[in-house]
Amino acid sequence: MASRPDAELISGYNVGGTVQVVIDTLFAKIKAEEYPADTRLPSERSLAADLGVSRNTVREALDVLESHAIIRRRAGSGSFVIWRASAAPDNQPDSVAERTSPLDHLVVRSIIEPEMVRLATINMSPRELDELDEIVSRIEAVRTDVSEFVNCEEDLYRKIAKGTRNPLLESCYELTIAVCRQSFRTALMRRHLTPDRIAEYQKRYNTLFNAIASRDVEAAVEFIKLHLIEEQKLLLHEN
């Protein structure tokens, strides 16, 4: 029996955005037993046609799935599912991710992030502000690489969470990041990150940093609330 892979590694693999969507889509079908254990996956040609991508993209996604012991390729026979779900405690992130919708995730963010930003604006040290500034600079350097942008975005929120000086709040927010990475639904949502939208987010995070750095609690909290409203509008539009 194949061991249960780390879902965060699957979602966080260093591949292009389209390949990541294929990985997440196939893994979701395997978890849902649309492709049960010991069955053969459709051919690369069929998967490429069904998913609207190139065969090279499918092949790269299958490479990742094989490296995580989710499938096994047999020369001349195709790709076979070897992953079997194992029971996970209800309090584990992968179990939570399977039950969490993008809207659920956004609701939790709307509860946590305003308070997180408020405390960080009050408590972050000058050194932490410098480190936050460096992360914003990294975000501003991204042009089209969605995976890199998402990684930088996560680093930004982690730094803000750490700046709250509240270990429990920091841990709670780490769980929201883990659930986001482990949910194939959220990966599909990332399709909205066009270069224009990345540029818009860069402006937003620069504005947020300026409010935090100037210790303007009211402006920082108000900004993150407005940002979350825009995220909700985008989510509802996508749906």
Residues 168-180: what's their mean pLDDT?
89
Report the range out of 9-23, 111-125, 177-191 with the highest average pLDDT: 111-125
Mean pLDDT of 83-109: 70
* C-alpha to C-alpha distances, 122 to 139, 167, 179, 234, nearest whole angstrom: 23, 16, 28, 30
> For residue 112, what are its two tokens?
């946590």
Residue 3: per-residue pLDDT: 41
Higher per-residue pLDDT: 78 or 120: 120
Over residues 18-40, mean pLDDT: 87
Side chain identity at 56, as an amino acid letter? Answer: N
pLDDT band at 4 (very low <50, low <70, confident <90, very high): very low
Give the residue, 10 or 107, on which the prediction is more confident.
Answer: 107
Tens of pLDDT along 182-210? 655 455 556 678 889 899 999 999 999 99
Q: Residue 160: is its pLDDT beyond 60?
A: yes
Q: Over the stretch 30-56, which tens digit does the pLDDT of each residue have?
A: 888 888 888 899 999 999 999 999 999
Instruction: Round to whole Å and give the CA distance between 82 and 169.
Output: 38
**What domains appear along the chain, each with residue ranges and CATH number?**
7-81 (1.10.10.10), 93-238 (1.20.120.530)
